[in-house]
Structure 1
Amino acid sequence: MLLKGKVALVTGGGTGIGKGVVEALAREGAHIAIAAADFVESAANQYGSKNIGGYTAAKKLAAELQANGTEAIAVEANITKVADAGQMVKATVERFGRLDILINAAGLITCKQVADLTEADWDAVVDTNAKGTFITNQAVIAQMKQQGGGRIINFSSIAGKTGYPGLAHYCASKFAVIGFTNALAKELVRDNITVNAIAPGIVATEMWVNLRKAWANPGESEEESYQRNVQAMIPQGVDQTPEDMAKAVLFFIDSPHVTGQTLNVDGGCS
């Protein structure tokens, strides 16, 4: 198995893309810490609630993995908080003795025109997607340097390379992830720590439950909206899956001389 004896920390790992990544890492033999939060400070997110249920989902997934023989723990952490990020790294190292891989998959989205955006809308999305990437990446550097290397993989988006109406704040946060990833990779290049990013296309997660509603034409069902957007945006004409993203994660983990890159997994839309 590719990752036997390796330890991975996955933020946002209880649901969506993060869950798909966690399951792939487990199949490859990794020990896994799943970090997530149940409550956030603003309801400006795809769930429309301050209760996003991430930690509850992480605990459920960790229990399922343990029942199938994978060493896994759930850690409650809000990645916009420096103290929480430090604690999730500490909990991972205390449980498994090391930390080899960080996958930063936590993310928030809302859909509003710039004229209608509130400061709270902006802060909720940008703090999680951009600031959260900075905080989580920074939190693992010392441990990885001490061990002599590691892998950091962040999640951006096709909206981190192209602007979309109604998503200016989300686009800003995901453009930031790409720039940050490239710069950090160059800072850590002599430390045997690679830093890369993945830019998903359209994946049927909770984010797209939100967008299919927001982008529906009059009289169009949510499923019709989703399929129309897939056809309009994705040249292959099909959406992507968490499993597609997990394959990209495994590629980066197994590629010691690939760093500072953002890999689009988007069916050819970029």
Structure 2
Amino acid sequence: MIEKALDYFGKIDVLVNNAGILQQVLLVDMDSKTWDRMINTNLKGTFLCCKYVLPHMIKRRFGRIINISSQLAQIGGAALTHYCAAKAGVIGFSKSLAREVGSKGITVNCIAPGPIETDLIKDLSKEWKEAKKKELVIPRFGKPEEIAPTAVLLASEPDGNLYTGQTLGPNSGDVMV
């Protein structure tokens, strides 16, 4: 994927790791295959994309890496331990990577959205969705177009220049830092 992008565009300025899966299952009912699938998709995928784009960004001494986490990484969620662990791992990974590559002109940040009206949450129970909306300060789920400006900020120059190792949370007030 990285090689194809480089062949087509000649450079990569911004990497947004936004792939993810979500499945509700209680930990006591979870098998290791379910755990591994969640970790591999939501955390290992971020690792691999970063690993293979970094040599190019380091050589150019410029890059913006934006990893999509979740507000659940910061507060947890019943029947979502594997998801929360993976997304918390993305935040820790991003902070550490920011420290590794900041002096090379590369910023690394996270966006930790609250529930967003996408296919990711379509299979969550109606009960969970209704209860979650009641917990939110702004009692509704966000839309993708409400998250995109956060990515644009982090990717932009000079506006995003001083953001690194940060987790920004467009999450309807679910997490307030």
Residue aligning to 1:180: 93
Identity %: 34
Aligned to 1:248: 150
2:167 matched residue in structure 1: 262
Aligned residues: 172
SS in 1 for 2:112: strand
Query: What amino acid is the match of 1:114?
Result: L
Q: Per-residue CA shift, 1:102-125, capped at 9, x if unaligned? A: 000000111100000011110111
Contact kept in structure 2, 1:188 and 1:194, CA below 8 Å: yes
- Could you tell me whether the CA contact under 8 Å between 2:116 and 2:143 is conserved in 1? yes
Change (3 A) 1:158 1:243: same
Please name the residue that 2:133 is paired with.
Answer: 231
> Within 5 A, what are the aligned runs for 1:103-142?
103-142=16-55
Determine the C-alpha separation between the residues in 1 that align with 2:142 and 2:65.
22
The answer as to 2:57 corresponding to 1:152 is: no
Residues 100 and 144, structure 1, Cα contact 8 Å, conserved in 2: yes
1:208 shift after superposition: 1.2
- After TM superposition, give the deviation of residue 130 of structure 1 in Å: 0.9
Question: If the length of structure 1 is used for normalisation, what is the TM-score?
Answer: 0.62
1:111-168 superposed Cα distances (whole Å, 9 cap, x missing partner): 1000000111101111111111111111110001111201000000011101111000
Corresponding residue of 1:171: 84
Amino acid at match of 2:137: P
Deviations 1:234-263 (A, max 9, x none): 111121111121100011012111100000
Kept in 1: contact 2:22–2:121 (CA 8 A): no
Q: Which has the higher contact order (CA 8 A, sep 6+)?
A: 2
CA contact (8 A) 1:201 1:234 kept: no
Alignment of 1:38-53 (within 5 A): none
Q: Which residue is 1:201 aligned to?
A: 114
TM (normalized to structure 2)?
Answer: 0.93
Gaps of 5+ in 1: 1-87, 218-224
Question: Gaps spanning 5+ residues in structure 2: where?
Answer: none
8 A contact 1:156–1:177 mirrored in 2: yes
Shift of 1:230: 4.3
